[in-house]
Amino acid sequence: MINDKLPSIYYGGDYNPDQWPEEVWQEDMRLFKLAGINIVTLPVFSWAKLQPSEDTYDFEWLDKIIATVAKEGIFLCLATSTAAQPAWMSRLYPEVLPVDIDGRKRTHGSRVNFCPNSPVYRMFSQRLATKMAERYGQHPSLLVWHIGNEYAPHCYCDTCASSFRAWLQKKYGTLEVVNRVWNMSFWSHTVYEWEDIVPPTNLNGNNRCFQGIALDYKRFMSDAILECYQGEYDIIKRITPDIKITSNIWGLFNGLDLKKWADHMDVVSWDSYPQMNEPMSNVAMRHDYMRGLKDGQPFMLMEQTPSQQNWQPYNSLKRPGVMRLWSYQAIAHGADTVMFFQLRRSVGACEKYHGALIAHAGHEHTRVFQECTQLGKELQMLGDTLLDSVTESKVALLFDIDTWNAVEMTSGPSVDLDYLKQAQKYYRAFYDLNVSMDVISPLSDFSKYELIIAPVMYMLKPGVSDRLKSFVKQGGTFITSFFSGIVNENDLVTLGGYPGELRDLLGIWVEEIDALQPEMTNRIMMNSTFGELHGEYECGLLCDLLHLEGAEALGVYGRDFYAGMPAITRNTFGQGEAYYVATDPEQRFLEQLSKTICERLNLTTAHQAPEGVEIRSRQKDDKTYTFVLNHNAYETAILLNFGSYKDLLSHRIYERTLVLEPHGVAILEVCS
């Protein structure tokens, strides 16, 4: 449990009372109670008010609001408020302001607009964190700490440049090693002194010249920002060792090494803002990724909008039922909290059109408030039933931020190659079958899985290929795709033929990689029926030209000068099998491939759901809670496996068939 003071799903969100006169606070409390809010996150962006000058702090207003909230029995997620420094700091200490990749010094304003290596920023932020922890650490309503907010700054200033050199010295020891791992003899880049090393620049609009430098700079930045977080973390931990600490992750993004970050959090939390028409599989994948960051531990849904965003190009409303549906989807994937940004809509600045529990109308008679209230009641009713339950998956998708960055930074083979999209395509194929997946790092433990999928496993870190080989040798099934096994962690090519260290596992040698023009396609022609796969499929983007070295071809290319060469292969390796998809196939191919593999491995689902219905389970104390989520805007029937089931939400008993209303949800438990 995040904190057993509140043995229930945390329900609430970002609350900004400092933007409002005190008279409004009491009304807020009335409305929060009505909606079933049990936690508020504050003060996320109040540094300017908490420390109006270098030498003065003012906590009185916060004392008052905390007392007001606590009196109502509402708990606290306390933020350290260090994501936006006050204007006096930028004025008196301009070195806290960052420099962008083109060398331009930023002016004060916005948020997360500081140099992460600035000793001044670190000193002041740690001082504030200390004061917060000392003042409120023992408060009976405190449940969890929230450091910063969506960390993601990047800076290229002189302070960062010299910290980068120190980071490199620690990592590589000598310049000789740096010159080698960055391949600096290319374009006369040899460095003679540490001072010769500078942060990457954006020459001609991109930084794709030296992936070694650019990749290490990203890693260094992630570490530098982590040090900012860690500085606050250590202080708070010392003062309140029993309270969990987190920082809300911006989403599945490649600006930070999120896996490493998660190792420094007590509980992962993240902010989920899907676009209205985004495939639900993408949202599910992000939740699974967050759950995977701490090896399956429940996470916090720290933010979602109750209705609409302000920052998307088209900020559509969540349709009736959708906020509830997506909240349960998050829980189904491992969230133990449902929290919003924001509780009251602000009156000015860029978030005034961002959805909130309390609208500008200021009362409870709105659709959104009513939907939030219904959800609040349900969550209250569920109590601690679902808390700490876990997900058991036999399938894992490997996803790696470094690989993502490396693919993004590489020059060639195709500008259309998008690592995340490739992962999403494969994830979706299994999602559509309602097969539960974990999304994990290639450095995670593979032992509990039967099937591992790693699309575009471009970069292989030390030890990963050996671990994959022993996984397959012992009977595991492995699927990977084109542009895999190409480079090491420094983006240096593994010589001797692609896919490098995976060559014997896959039983193939890729001789060349063809990038198709956007209007070009090729075909995959199946040699014979393989499970669900038969006939022809369209493919494009990249086509590997490969030779068999022990594997068998299940299908071949249908066109071009490499017609007849293998396009999908299977290799028996020890007790297991390794598949290679040599090109980017149409989704239908991946659907049928995943179905075939799941049938071969007996990874089928118990209930039969039509398209648009997601089924996920969480387990606890020998009980299984099955979430049935109807993403369709129409009524949908699900055929249940033999037995009778109780829906924890409606308390109805179901046998054989469950009919869900548009965007409806059921949480089924087997009747004993």
- Using the rule CB under 6 A, is 146 a contact of ligand GLA? no
Contact (CB, 8 A) for 485 and 609: no
Which structure tokens are listed for 99?
A: 């420099």
Q: Is 546 exposed, middle or buried (0-12, 13-18, 19+ CB in 10 A)?
A: buried
**Among 656, 654, 616, 611, which residue's Cα sits nearest to residue 634?**
611
Select the binding partner of residue 160 from ligand GLA, Zn ion, none (C-beta < 5 to 8 A, by kind): Zn ion
174 in the Ramachandran plot: left (φ > 0), alpha (ψ -120 to 50) or beta?
beta
- Using the rule CB under 6 A, is 113 a contact of ligand GLA? no
- Using the rule CB under 5 A, is 155 a contact of Zn ion? yes
Considering only residues 243 through 262, tell me which ones interact with ligand GLA, judged by CB under 6 A.
248
Select the binding partner of residue 484 from ligand GLA, Zn ion, none (C-beta < 5 to 8 A, by kind): none
Pairing of strands 269-271, 299-303: parallel
- Using the rule CB under 6 A, is 207 a contact of ligand GLA? no
Q: Is 55 exposed, middle or buried (0-12, 13-18, 19+ CB in 10 A)?
A: exposed
Which residue's structure tokens are 């829980």? 331
- Using the rule CB under 6 A, is 303 a contact of ligand GLA? yes
Closer to ligand GLA by CB, 14 or 432: give it.
Answer: 14
303 is a catalytic site residue = yes
Select the binding partner of residue 584 from Zn ion, ligand GLA, none (C-beta < 5 to 8 A, by kind): none
Contact (CB, 8 A) for 430 and 285: no
Select the binding partner of residue 450 from Zn ion, ligand GLA, none (C-beta < 5 to 8 A, by kind): none
CB of 48 to ligand GLA, least distance (A): 15
Closer to ligand GLA by CB, 45 or 431: give it.
Answer: 45
- Using the rule CB under 6 A, is 271 a contact of ligand GLA? yes
HEC readout, 129-171: HHHHHHHHCCCCCEEEEECCCCCCCCCCCHHHHHHHHHHHHHH
Q: How many residues bind ligand GLA (CB under 6 A)?
A: 11
Pairing of strands 536-548, 248-249: unpaired
d(C-alpha 110, C-alpha 93), whole Å: 17
CB of 163 to Zn ion, least distance (A): 8
- Using the rule CB under 6 A, is 353 a contact of ligand GLA? no
Closer to Zn ion by CB, 37 or 168: give it.
Answer: 168
Which structure tokens are listed for 225?
A: 């920002």
- Using the rule CB under 6 A, is 309 a contact of ligand GLA? yes
d(C-alpha 17, C-alpha 62), whole Å: 9
Catalytic residue among 303, 378, 577, 591: 303
Select the binding partner of residue 271 from Zn ion, ligand GLA, none (C-beta < 5 to 8 A, by kind): ligand GLA
Q: How far is CA 320 from CA 310, 355, 663, 665, in A?
A: 19, 14, 8, 13
**Type of residue at 150:** E
Axis-axis angle for helices 587-600, 419-431 (nearest 10): 50
Length of the chain as a residue count: 672
Closer to Zn ion by CB, 112 or 456: give it.
Answer: 112
Axis-axis angle for helices 401-409, 211-239 (nearest 10): 150
Select the binding partner of residue 157 from ligand GLA, Zn ion, none (C-beta < 5 to 8 A, by kind): Zn ion
Among 150, 216, 432, 614, binds ligand GLA (CB under 6 A): 150
Among 80, 149, 327, 583, binds ligand GLA (CB under 6 A): 149
**What is the separation of C-alpha 4 from the centre of its chain, rounded to a whole number of angstroms?**
26
Axis-axis angle for helices 367-382, 322-332 (nearest 10): 30
CB of 301 to ligand GLA, least distance (A): 11
Considering only residues 12 through 51, tell me which ones interact with ligand GLA, judged by CB under 6 A.
none
Catalytic residue among 23, 54, 72, 150: 150
Phi, psi of 355, rounded to the nearest 5 degrees? -55, 155
Which structure tokens are listed for 11?
A: 């329900």
Closer to Zn ion by CB, 112 or 406: give it.
Answer: 112
Closer to ligand GLA by CB, 16 or 38: give it.
Answer: 16
CB of 106 to Zn ion, least distance (A): 10
Contact (CB, 8 A) for 406 and 491: yes
Among 273, 353, 509, 530, binds ligand GLA (CB under 6 A): 273
- Using the rule CB under 6 A, is 153 a contact of ligand GLA? no
- Using the rule CB under 5 A, is 160 a contact of Zn ion? yes
Among 84, 143, 157, 533, binds Zn ion (CB under 5 A): 157
Which structure tokens are listed for 238?
A: 């010392």
Considering only residues 96 through 125, tell me which ones interact with Zn ion, judged by CB under 5 A.
115, 117
Closer to Zn ion by CB, 84 or 598: give it.
Answer: 84
Closer to Zn ion by CB, 77 or 160: give it.
Answer: 160
Q: How far is CA 71 from CA 24, 67, 68, 235, in A?
A: 16, 6, 5, 28
User: Using CB under 6 A, which of the segments 303-311, 399-407, 431-439, 617-625 binds ligand GLA?
Assistant: 303-311
- Using the rule CB under 6 A, is 336 a contact of ligand GLA? no
- Using the rule CB under 6 A, is 483 a contact of ligand GLA? no
- Using the rule CB under 6 A, is 341 a contact of ligand GLA? yes
- Using the rule CB under 6 A, is 354 a contact of ligand GLA? yes
| Residue 60 parent element (H or E) | helix 60-71
Closer to ligand GLA by CB, 20 or 172: give it.
Answer: 20
538 is a catalytic site residue = no
Question: Which residues form the catalytic set?
Answer: 150, 303
Binding site for ligand GLA (CB under 6 A): 149-150, 248, 271, 273, 303, 309, 311, 341, 351, 354
For binding to Zn ion (CB under 5 A), which residues are involved?
115, 117, 155, 157, 159-160
